[in-house]
Structure 1
Amino acid sequence: MERLASFSSDPFDKPPCRGCSSYLTEPYVKCAECGPPPFLLCLQCFTRGFEYKKHQSDHTYEIMTSDFPVLDPNWTAQEEMSLLEAVMDCGFGNWQDVANQMCTKSKEECEKHYMKHFINNPLFASTLLNLKQAEEAQQHETAIPFHSADDPPRPAFDSLLSRDMAGYMPARADFVEEFDNYAEWDLRDIDFVEDDSDILHALKIAVVDIYHSRLKERQRRKKIIRDHGLINLRKFQILERRYPKEVQDLYETMRRFARILGPVEHDKFIESHALEFELRREIKRLQEYRAAGITNFCSARTYDHLKKSRDEERLKRTMLSEVLQYIQDSSACQQWLSRQADIDSGLTPTVPVPSTTGRRSAPPLNLTGLPGTEKLNEKEKELCQMVRLVPGAYLEYKAALVNECNKQGGLRLAQARALIKIDVNKTRKIYDFLIREGYITKA
């Protein structure tokens, strides 16, 4: 790796040619007898037999080039360095940006090569494990998910995301409003003077001690937020969604104990329960196979396929009882037939069968006199009436979605639901309306 480090793709990172002072481009010549510092020459000066002080034209030399394979016959050392620099610049997983920066390899080639030689390579696995263990031993009590240098999101002031971040200001790495924000008010009238009695002086000292304890509590809460990465709420929610629903419920329940365990111990605790859940589910599946008389995984795959087919057929048979309930309602029958057609074609049914409770839908919302109505156009007014959403809330949701779309270059429905904590059906209608009107674009 030290040898590769000398072959930088940027000529400004190397000393200039000692003969003509031009920036060196590969291949170039390095004198094997002179140095340090290294005595470097471009090919033109080398062919002229350039000599300088102790350097003579008959000295032994090395040809410096990175046009040779290291890990893969189809990848040169220069391309290996370019790949590592592109991953550092663009981030792991952004393979299209990595390929665009490299210009010589495709997205699939970059991903396949990096995963094969730098992630799944057993040669590096033990070294990386030792480095990770040494880092954990050195920084056992430090914050892993979040540091102030991680550049947390910078939402607009008074936006929905800003309120979710509790008014956190990334530029100052602090909050607009502190915990126990008015603790300093108790000290504003305290003044230590010489003619204070002993009791009054002791009372003032006690007030100051109380204030110090409140400051410690404020700092303790900040440390919990920083150590557990709770500032970047969206990132925290994405990490939670990796787990099954049962583990997510456990995560939510155990969150209040995170301040006791610490970030590393808390993550290990959740991971251990997630592993236990996976093991229990796998054991249950194997017990089901054993009860059915299956003894190999080839038969298990056939069993799963047939079980899925039987469940689909059973679903179709039970739907006949549903249509009998709506036989007197032509609209309900039409919706049932559409749903049945989707199931027969292998699609997810999108048309729900109406309920027989006779519940009437709510009337459109009257926007007369509501604040913010004058800022809406006719289509937006119609949307607010049908969704029964007050104009002020709609404008706030619209601004949050538009800002997030501009920041991310596109927006998915799942991201919109994470930003807007309302009924998912209303969120879908707002999302579809903004897509249709061109305010936002799909990711």
Structure 2
Amino acid sequence: MIMSPTSFVFPSSLRLVVPDASLGPLSPKSAATSIRYDPCDKPPCRGCSSYLMEPYIKCADCGPPPFLLCLQCFARGFEYKKHQSDHSYEIMTSDFPVLDPGWTAKEEMALLEAVMDCGFGNWQDVANQMRTKSKEDCEKHYMKHFINNPLFASTLLNLKHAEEAKNAETAIPFYPSDDPPRPTFDSLLSRDMAGYMPARADFIEEFDNYAEWDLRDIDFVEDDSDILHALKIAVVDIYLSRLKERQRRKRIIKDHGLINLRKFQILERRYPREVQDLYEAMRRFARILGPVQHDRFIESYALEFELRREIKRLQEYRVAGIRTFCSARMYDRLKTSREEERLKHTMLAEVLQYIQDSSACHQWLNRQAAIDSGLNPAMPVASNSGRRNAPPLNLSGLPGTEKLNEKEKELCQVVRLVPGAYLEYKSALVNECSKQGGLRLAQARALIKIDVNKTRKIYDFLIREGYISKA
């Protein structure tokens, strides 16, 4: 009967040490590694301290730990402390057939170990190591019972289906095919990703990167006092807790897809501002809820927010005396036109403010004329606040200047941006635009963390020159 190890305890008993059928593999390597047999793995005899060789005796009344005796000590009635010679016992042996009447369990384990040591297909070497079976016997038995065995195949198929079902239940909110970005070393995106290396699926520096330093000088010796030994054990326990924290943080990053953080930040911006604020506030609790439950909570709140806004809009129609959706659409168009008129009045007030200073008014008119003609106004509008504008940046000798055209050089001089940083920002914006099919100013400001006015000038320049397009 093929099953897990069993034992029969009466005055004597027999333990069948056989491999579990569920461990049966399909691949040669996994089959060979499923069971390892080493006589030195067993504890020594409690009577003579010699290594136990099958068959040997195990006391059924003593333990744990198990009380084991060799046949010689058992025959002379060895007794020790609570163990008495009249206790019930079990005979531990593997000298019985398991899969084939001509093969014992001991030979099955020896075959698997020989295949692992010599490699699948080297049947002559396998037979030489076993010494009890020929080359043809080894090959025929292994292929029949460990490769072409339908019992093992169906067992592994069921295990595979169970694993797939488990993964489906604990699905994370991003697909395995999503490829994280591969930025150049020490670039802006690489620093945002905390030095993550996609090829190794690990970080350049670990969390609590110097945790191992506390163990580098620890050595357990026999001369240690009890207090010193306990202190070393405590240090090791502290180190293990720090390792658990490191793995916990990695698991949170993996489950929530925080490697490609900017991608998820862009996806978050599809929500209204109020939902974005809740998303940011609830981010610290994501480690408790898990990825799926956290996203469901945010989605439910976003739905509630949309319903509240729709109810508020319908209440506004009701206050205005609107009873039909056709009238509501007309009301929305009229409301939009009123907002546009209000903005025009606001722009007129801004012009009147500049008229108070003749010099500022003249420069403002020149700037508006340059914008209308499609040129880049290099001269900023002067203000009456008394602040002096910074002089243009001198690009001579700066690395990367030779890669810029004349318009880009002019932009870097006015914005006071070194060519290397500009090229990096340009590459990030162009790549993001190609991925998203367009780019908004808010997305550009999220990608490059510099002054918002400089970001707008770079964004407008790249739009005007055709490097990127608006979403």
Q: TM-score range by the shorter chain?
A: 0.5 to 0.7
- Structure 1: where are the runs of 5+ without partners? 1-134, 344-351
Q: CA deviation at 1:252?
A: 1.2
The alpha-carbon distance between structure 1 residues 435 and 267, as it changes in their structure 2 partners (threshold 3 A), is: closer
Matches within 5 A, 1:362-373: 362-365=390-393, 373=398
Q: Please report the TM-score for the alignment, with normalisation by the length of structure 1.
A: 0.57
- 1:249 aligned to 2:277? yes
Matches within 5 A, 1:288-307: 288-307=316-335
Q: CA deviation at 1:186?
A: 1.0
The alpha-carbon distance between structure 1 residues 301 and 353, as it changes in their structure 2 partners (threshold 3 A), is: farther
Q: CA deviation at 1:356?
A: 5.8
Deviation string, structure 1 residues 264-310 (Cα, Å, up to 9, x no partner) = 12112211221121122111111111111111111111111112222
Residue 145 of structure 1 corresponds to 174
For 1:144, what is the secondary structure of its paired residue? coil
Q: Which has the larger radius of gyration?
A: 2
Contact 1:154 / 1:169 at 8 angstroms: preserved in 2?
Answer: yes
Deviation string, structure 1 residues 61-113 (Cα, Å, up to 9, x no partner) = xxxxxxxxxxxxxxxxxxxxxxxxxxxxxxxxxxxxxxxxxxxxxxxxxxxxx
The alpha-carbon distance between structure 1 residues 285 and 136, as it changes in their structure 2 partners (threshold 3 A), is: farther
Q: CA deviation at 1:375?
A: 3.5
Q: CA deviation at 1:416?
A: 4.2
The alpha-carbon distance between structure 1 residues 249 and 314, as it changes in their structure 2 partners (threshold 3 A), is: same
Distance, in Å, in 2 between the alignment partners of 1:429 and 1:323 is 22
Letter in 1 for 2:191: R
Residue 430 of structure 1 corresponds to 458
Matches within 5 A, 1:135-214: 139-145=168-174, 147=176, 149-214=177-242
Q: CA deviation at 1:383?
A: 3.2
- Larger deviation, residues 240-249 vs 150-159: 150-159
Matches within 5 A, 1:44-193: 139-145=168-174, 147=176, 149-193=177-221
Residue 226 of structure 1 corresponds to 254
- Structure 2: where are the runs of 5+ without partners? 1-163, 373-379
Q: CA deviation at 1:180?
A: 0.4
Deviation string, structure 1 residues 366-417 (Cα, Å, up to 9, x no partner) = 568xxx7143137455433311224553354345456x37985987455544
CA RMSD after TM alignment? 3.8
Which residue, out of 267, 272, 276, partners 2:304?
276
Distance, in Å, in 2 between the alignment partners of 1:312 and 1:299 is 20
Contact 1:365 / 1:389 at 8 angstroms: preserved in 2?
Answer: yes
Residue 385 of structure 1 corresponds to 413
Deviation string, structure 1 residues 113-151 (Cα, Å, up to 9, x no partner) = xxxxxxxxxxxxxxxxxxxxxx9987444423254x532
Distance, in Å, in 2 between the alignment partners of 1:338 and 1:420 is 27
Q: CA deviation at 1:311?
A: 2.5
- 1:267 aligned to 2:295? yes
Distance, in Å, in 1 between the alignment partners of 2:343 and 2:366 is 14
Distance, in Å, in 1 between the alignment partners of 2:338 and 2:432 is 43
The alpha-carbon distance between structure 1 residues 161 and 322, as it changes in their structure 2 partners (threshold 3 A), is: closer
Contact 1:146 / 1:226 at 8 angstroms: preserved in 2?
Answer: no
Distance, in Å, in 2 between the alignment partners of 1:221 and 1:213 is 13
Contact 1:367 / 1:385 at 8 angstroms: preserved in 2?
Answer: yes
For 1:326, what is the secondary structure of its paired residue? helix
Q: How many residues align?
A: 295
Contact 2:181 / 2:260 at 8 angstroms: preserved in 1?
Answer: yes
